[in-house]
Chain A
Amino acid sequence: MSFLRVEGIKIDARTLPKHQWNADLIEFEGPLLSLYKGESGNDLLYAWLDCTATRNRWCIVPVDRKSLRDYLEQQKTLRELYLESEWIVIFHTGASSKRSAFLRTSWDRLPDAYLPEVDSYLTPEIATSAAEKLAEEITEAYFLGLDGELYLDDFSLVPKIYQQLYSFHYGLEHLDRPAVQGALSKLAGSWTGGFSAVHLFTGLNSVTPSIHRAKVSEVQFASPGHIKLDLLPDLARRIEVSARQIADDDSFVALEQYYSTVYRYFKGNKISGFDDERAISANLAPEIVTRLKEFIDFFFGLMRWEDYRSSFEYLDVDALHQLRVLLAYYRRLKRLRPYLVGGNLFLGCSRVVGSS
């Protein structure tokens, strides 16, 4: 028993970018279609094609945000995704699941038996619960309103910070997704050997599928202006809550005092700095751990995030690292304050076209 012949160009696996598993979309005694993310944030489908007695043949199909959304909502077929793709990569797996025999080809060079049928919809009876959940959350238009005097570095910083905050909230609100939980577990695992809070934000961004990422749909600025995004509205509301706390003078003073108090406590108890890489959690005295937990609770109160407390417990990481993550979030959020109080940034509305 052998595979059907496919014309294409053999490629070295080392030249392929790394792909990160995100969710299985079709399972039938095992995954048959899975969503992966590429290094540049692009989405890819891994689809089962064929088998022999010892090997399975798969293909990688690139897919854009709109087509993925259409497929999840049964507006497009798997066949259409194949036919839209600029390239397809085929590979084999054996008993060890190690991938081999990579071949770059295109849909029109695939044997007919490898192409899905014209009505190959992601019907509910074959869609995984993960696929259903991905489809459930719908992105909406959202404005980052801009006004006043802005420089090029402002245009770089504001979206970057906003994206990091968005990734953070995506992670906390999607811990039921195995890919998100897996990424956080991986990060948590690396914390024993050293942890930088930056990893959390980049790690969470890498598990956010394109259909849930904040996508720029329009940029215009002649003071006033806006960046129009297409994003998950619940996460945007979360950021608005945080932004209100940082923009309000009274709560900002309280947050700054809190930050100084925590820092002094770290220093006084010889706990390493906020971004120190050394792992020291294992040696903390019980009374210090108790105090750190109090700091965490206090932060949730200051940020009006009480309902996130259980999510943090779910992370199953120690109090010191929980606190470091929260403070890393705070430092990022704080960088938006000058723009918020200075009338340069308005969340959820544009002075050009009104509220979103």
Chain B
Amino acid sequence: MYLSLEQSVSAFQSVQKSFRMARKVFGGHVANVVITPNDGACTVANRYGHFDFHPYATGSIHSNVSTVRAIP
């Protein structure tokens, strides 16, 4: 996961340059998700905005998805 749309799209596009079939496994869309402390635990983001999210079994972040857009 990434802190911002721009960071997420930039990383994906960079990955896609090395692995051109990346969309087949990761899809071609990016979603905006609001994560609350009740949803799970997050690692500290690195300088490129990437962090890991470990959802709680009771969490349901799917209901927190607010925007889905295609990655250019």
Contact = CB atoms under 8 A, between A and B. Distances in A.
Most buried by A among B18, B19, B48: B18
B17 A117 contact: yes
Contacts of B11: 28, 125-126
Given A28-B26, A125-B48, A116 B19 contact: yes
A125 B17 contact: no
A116 B17 contact: yes
A48 interface: yes
Given A51-B25, A124-B48, A125-B48, A116 B14 contact: no
A126 B24 contact: no
B15 A26 contact: yes
A78 interface: yes
A126 B21 contact: no
A95 interface: no
Query: What bracket does the count of chain B residues touching chain A fall in?
Result: 10 to 19
Interface string A112-134: 01111101111111100000000
Interface residues of A, number: 25
A48 B48 CA distance: 23
A32 B20 CA distance: 12
A29 interface: yes
A206 B20 CA distance: 32
B64 interface: no
Interface in B25-72: 25-26, 48, 50
Given A49-B19, A117-B18, 18 more contacts: A28-B22, A32-B15, A32-B19, A47-B18, A50-B21, A51-B21, A51-B25, A78-B18, A113-B21, A114-B20, A114-B21, A115-B20, A116-B18, A117-B17, A121-B17, A124-B48, A125-B10, A125-B50
A172 interface: no
B21 A28 contact: no
Nearest to A30: B25
Nearest to A125: B48
A33 interface: yes
30 contacts: A26-B18, A28-B11, A28-B12, A28-B22, A28-B26, A33-B18, A48-B19, A51-B21, A51-B24, A113-B20, A114-B20, A114-B21, A115-B20, A116-B17, A116-B18, A116-B20, A117-B18, A119-B17, A120-B17, A121-B17, A122-B18, A124-B48, A125-B7, A125-B10, A125-B11, A125-B14, A125-B50, A126-B14, A126-B15, A126-B18
B26 A29 contact: yes
A269 to B, nearest CB: 48
Nearest to B10: A125
A260 to B, nearest CB: 52
B17 A49 contact: no
Nearest to A56: B25
Contacts of A114: 20-21
